[in-house]
Amino acid sequence: MPLDTYKGHGFRSDLLQMLVDLKPSFIRFPGGCFVEGDYLRNAFRWKAAVGPWEERPGHFGDVWKYWTDDGLGYYEFLQLSEDLGALPIWVFNNGVSHNDEVDTSAVLPFVQEALDGLEFARGDPTSKWGSMRAAMGHPEPFNLKYVAVGNEDCGKKNYRGNYLRFYDAIRRAYPDIQIISNCDGPSRPLDHPADMYDYHIYTNANDMFSRSTTFNRVTRSGPKAFVSEYAVTGNDA
């Protein structure tokens, strides 16, 4: 790794300074479709994206069609958020991809993977996964308070059932963590508990302007809106 990096944490200082100047309040990782994959076998899995860089297996991002070495992994995301003074928002796979999904009766390994990830971020340095974080150079817990259960999976056959398994397990183990659903709260009331819902919109310019009052009609009680992805796309952008 080059020696001249931002705070010695692996990122180019000139690029990171641009992020510092933007003053982001949060970092959402690893993003959207990347965490799902077209198929679950190619979904991002955090355990393969920690530890020494040269030992990470990497994986094929089959949604965007490129190979990633996962050098910017789960630990780097948490460290980057801390370096920027931004809140980390961790998105994990909930047993659903674009083309296949795990039945709720078989989703517990995914739930345990999420709990292990939370222990990595927040656990005592003597715990199994907290000790790995400490060995990587960060004995103190990271300030992880927000997690998102999947990405744009609402409406999939097993989403609600899977979501509830994650929600119940995380709420029991980490009652302070804010849990984000990816169902469309403005269109219809959620049929499951959540602290926030993630609203995504990609559309043309006219439609985007027409949506400027979307949240004026939404009740102020219940889950809060989190608009994490939005863009005007097409030739009129």
- Point out the residues that are catalytic: 152
Helix axes 159-173, 108-122, angle to 10 degrees: 40
Buried b (16+ CB within 10 A) or exposed e, 43-68: bbbbeebbeebeebeebebbbeeeeb
Q: Looking up tokens 């928002």, which residue turns up?
A: 89
Structure-token pair, residue 41? 């076998």
How many Cβ atoms are within 10 Å of 157's Cβ, its own excluded?
12
Residues sharing a CB contact under 8 Å with residue 178, sequence separation 6 or more, in sequence order: 145, 146, 147, 195, 196
Q: Looking up tokens 């994206």, which residue turns up?
A: 49
CA 137 – CA 166 distance, rounded (Å): 29
Residues composing the chain: 237
Q: Looking up tokens 């920690």, which residue turns up?
A: 50
